[in-house]
Amino acid sequence: MNKEIRQVLEGVRQGEISVEQAMLQMKTAPFEDIGFAKVDLHRKARQGTAEVIYGAGKTPQQMAGILDVMKKNGQETVLITRLSPESAQELAKSHELSYHADARVAIVGPMPEPYGLGTILVATGGTSDIPVAEEAALTAQVLGNKVMRLYDVGVAGIHRTLAHLEDIMEASVIIAIAGMEGALASVIGGLADCPVIAVPTSVGYGASFHGLTALLSMLNSCASGVSVVNIDNGFGAGYLASMINHMEKKGE
Look at residue 249 and tell me whether its pLDDT is greater than 60. no
pLDDT per residue over 26-48, tens digit each? 656 577 667 888 777 767 767 67
Domains by residue range for the chain, with CATH: 27-108 (no CATH), 119-245 (3.40.50.1970)
Facing residues of 39 across strands? Answer: 32
d(C-alpha 95, C-alpha 98), whole Å? 10
In the chain, % of residues over pLDDT 70: 91
Mean pLDDT of the chain: 89
pLDDT per residue over 212-230, tens digit each? 999 999 999 999 999 999 9
Average pLDDT over residues 140-168: 93
Closest CA to 231 of 243, 216, 249: 216
Q: Are 54 and 82 in contact (CB under 8 A)?
A: yes
pLDDT per residue over 177-203, tens digit each? 999 999 999 999 999 999 999 999 999
Q: Are 185 and 153 in contact (CB under 8 A)?
A: no
Going by pLDDT thresholds of 50, 70 and 90, the confidence category of residue 3 is low
d(C-alpha 118, C-alpha 244), whole Å? 10
Please report the pLDDT score of residue 104 as a whole number: 95
Q: How many residues does the chain have?
A: 252
Closest CA to 111 of 126, 100, 125: 100
What is the sign, positive or negative, of the torsion defined by CA atoms of 132, 246, 115, 226? negative
Please report the pLDDT score of residue 28 as a whole number: 60
Please report the pLDDT score of residue 193 as a whole number: 92
Q: What is the DSSP letter of 128?
A: G
Please report the pLDDT score of residue 116 as a whole number: 86
